[in-house]
Structure 1
Amino acid sequence: MARFSGASWRPIPINHTKNGQESVRGVVVHIMDGTLSGTDSWFRNPDAQASSHFGTGRNGQLFQWVDTAHRAWAQAGGNRTWLSVENEGRGGDALTSAQIDRCAEVLAWAHKVHGVPLQVASSPSGKGLGYHAMGGKGWGGHSMCPGVKVVAQLAEIVKRAKVLTGAKPTGYQPFPGADWFKKEPKSAVVTAMGKRLVAVGCSAYKTGPGPQWTAADRESFRKWQRKLGDAPAYCDGWPGKKQWDALKVPRVS
């Protein structure tokens, strides 16, 4: 049995698998496309065939619907090994600061109880704080859940969770300089950058980012420049300090 004392316990009698949680790789962030109260009612409807372990309201409410010993029905193929947190809002919304705090509390609790690492995950094979769309078709094909604005907030959720657990934040990777990229480096820094570009919805990768700077890295960074609203002439795919700092690449040791 695992219930978070910081959440209002609102158990649902249906739409979940008792004692079905096989392991816990991390916590998956969702957007409700509705309200907290509406989602609470929907999860109690047998026609829903859906549920979540946790849910946040935009004003800072936190519900727990399903004990983490049980399997919630939130992300199809990811249900057996991931916990879930739904967030009040519509597609395209960002989370409120209060919601970020609640998600951080859930992650910090999952870290203590289930050993979830305090890091952002970008694929089902990872561990940490993930998001629904990262699971692709195997997770129901919800490519817009929770949306790019929420995905961009995952690092802040992790940061706040680290404060709650007393973990020392790792900070962000300093800009290595424009010339560094043009020399075609092979480095974990490039991989870390690529993972962040995927997380913010700016991927041009076919098989995922790697340690070698490639044309796919440059095209992905070009998408990031466009996303930031840079003038077309400056969207050349070569990282500059301003764009790099905004991307918030985790520090590589």
Structure 2
Amino acid sequence: MAKPLSASKMVEILRAEGLTVHEVRNWRTHNRNTKGPWGPVNGVMIHHTVTSGTEASVNICYNGYSGLPGPLCHGVIDKKGHIHLVGNGRANHAGLGDSDVLRAVINETRLPSDNEADTDGNRHFYGFECINLGDGKDPWPEAQKEAIEKAAAAICRHHGWSERSVIGHKEWQPGKQDPRGFTMDGMRRRIADRLKGGGGGGGKDPDPKPQPKPSYEPFPGSAFFHPGQNSPVVTAMGRRLVAEGCSRYEEGPGPEWTEADRRSYAAWQQKLGFTGKDADGIPGKVSWDRLKVPARRT
């Protein structure tokens, strides 16, 4: 059991996991706390929306609909892997489910079959709605599955939970089939791999062989990045920006710090969710560490 995350802490841990986070309207105070308790929290529940289109899906999850007021979850995960936060507190996503399942989640043991609906899940679970029609045909892009993995791992890491604290709606409430299109066992293996420090595993079992720890270039300080600076670190940074889809280069990148480097880095900061002065294109430590620029070999 754990105390629910604050809104600020939720944003912090999701972004620290490398996710792009969008804060929707008044999500920080948007909840159903007047209708029942929120917490202690015990796990993370994954759903699919049975909708298409990011804007429409986010609006439905924020507002709800006749007979079921919003928020309908805490975050919406779109096809690009972005997280749209729509609620903070009790949300109408889990409904009544099986007390034996809740007990297994708390104890982090194998899940039993869900054959009862006797326990309030809205009190105990963070909920993420993933945009998918749920017809078994609508694809699940890898970016979206990786975002599910990252979001769940971020919350589990904060609370000290294992992957067994992450379940699908279909494992909680009899008659539900979401999420449909991937297995929760496979997703839990991915989350377990990430919690062990291995990143996404594609649903495969972690490699038992020890892997060398990657070596990244330490943050050289914001003052390092100025007109006239010439360093292989700038080239390595530029190559990583290109790999992340943030290139604003017409040629290069090269070792000299240029306006193209600044604009490319600003695109990276924006991709991480930074705005204003935090997205001016001058590297800061948080964004630099997330870029993972390979260290120079000596």
Cα distance, 1:81 vs structure 2: 0.8
Q: 1:158 to 1:66 in 2, by over 3 A?
A: same
2:150 matches 1:132? no
Q: For residues 79 and 65 of structure 2, what CA distance do their matches in structure 1 show?
A: 26
Q: Which structure 2 residue ranges, 5 or more long, are not aligned?
A: 1-5, 16-20, 97-120, 207-298
Question: Partner of 1:101 in structure 2?
Answer: 146
Q: For residues 92 and 169 of structure 2, what CA distance do their matches in structure 1 show?
A: 12
Cα distance, 1:155 vs structure 2: 3.5
Query: Would you say the 8 A contact 1:56–1:85 is kept in 2?
Result: yes
Bigger Rg, structure 1 or 2: 2
Match of 2:190 among 160, 169, 184: 160
Question: Partner of 1:87 in structure 2?
Answer: 130
- CA offsets, 1:153-206, max 9 Å, x none? x3443333344433578938xxxxxxxxxxxxxxxxxxxxxxxxxxxxxxxxxx
Q: 1:104 to 1:15 in 2, by over 3 A?
A: same
- CA offsets, 1:29-49, max 9 Å, x none? 111111331122122256341
Match of 1:39 among 57, 68, 78: 57
- CA offsets, 1:119-154, max 9 Å, x none? 3xxxxxxxx2111122234xxx4x22222x23x1x3
Q: For residues 45 and 72 of structure 1, what CA distance do their matches in structure 2 show?
A: 10
SS of the equivalent of 1:90 reads coil
Cα distance, 1:16 vs structure 2: 2.7
Q: For residues 60 and 118 of structure 1, what CA distance do their matches in structure 2 show?
A: 20
- Aligned-residue CA RMSD in angstroms? 2.8
Q: Percent identity?
A: 16
Runs of 4 or more, structure 1, over 6 Å off, are none
- CA offsets, 1:17-62, max 9 Å, x none? 2694212221111111113311221222563414101111112221
SS of the equivalent of 2:11 reads coil
Query: Would you say the 8 A contact 1:15–1:46 is kept in 2?
Result: no
2:79 matches 1:49? no
The aligned amino acid for 2:205 is: G
Query: Would you say the 8 A contact 1:14–1:46 is kept in 2?
Result: no
SS of the equivalent of 1:146 reads coil
The aligned amino acid for 1:32 is: T
Q: How many residues align?
A: 155
Q: For residues 189 and 153 of structure 2, what CA distance do their matches in structure 1 show?
A: 10
Q: For residues 81 and 75 of structure 1, what CA distance do their matches in structure 2 show?
A: 9
Query: Would you say the 8 A contact 2:162–2:192 is kept in 1?
Result: no
Query: Would you say the 8 A contact 1:56–1:102 is kept in 2?
Result: yes
SS of the equivalent of 2:162 reads coil
Cα distance, 1:71 vs structure 2: 1.2
Q: For residues 38 and 84 of structure 1, what CA distance do their matches in structure 2 show?
A: 18
Query: Would you say the 8 A contact 2:23–2:85 is kept in 1?
Result: yes
Query: Would you say the 8 A contact 2:78–2:130 is kept in 1?
Result: yes
Question: Partner of 1:181 in structure 2?
Answer: none
Query: Would you say the 8 A contact 1:36–1:87 is kept in 2?
Result: no
Q: For residues 159 and 111 of structure 1, what CA distance do their matches in structure 2 show?
A: 13
TM-score (norm 1): 0.53
The aligned amino acid for 1:24 is: V
Match of 1:74 among 75, 93, 110: 93
Question: Partner of 1:122 in structure 2?
Answer: none
Cα distance, 1:107 vs structure 2: 1.1
Cα distance, 1:15 vs structure 2: 5.2
Q: For residues 36 and 63 of structure 1, what CA distance do their matches in structure 2 show?
A: 9
Q: For residues 205 and 153 of structure 2, what CA distance do their matches in structure 1 show?
A: 18
SS of the equivalent of 1:55 reads strand
Question: Partner of 1:145 in structure 2?
Answer: 178
Q: Which moved more, 1:95-104 or 1:107-116?
A: 107-116
TM-score (norm 2): 0.46
Match of 2:10 among 3, 22, 30: 3
The aligned amino acid for 1:49 is: P
Q: Which structure 1 residue ranges, 5 or more long, are not aligned?
A: 120-127, 173-253
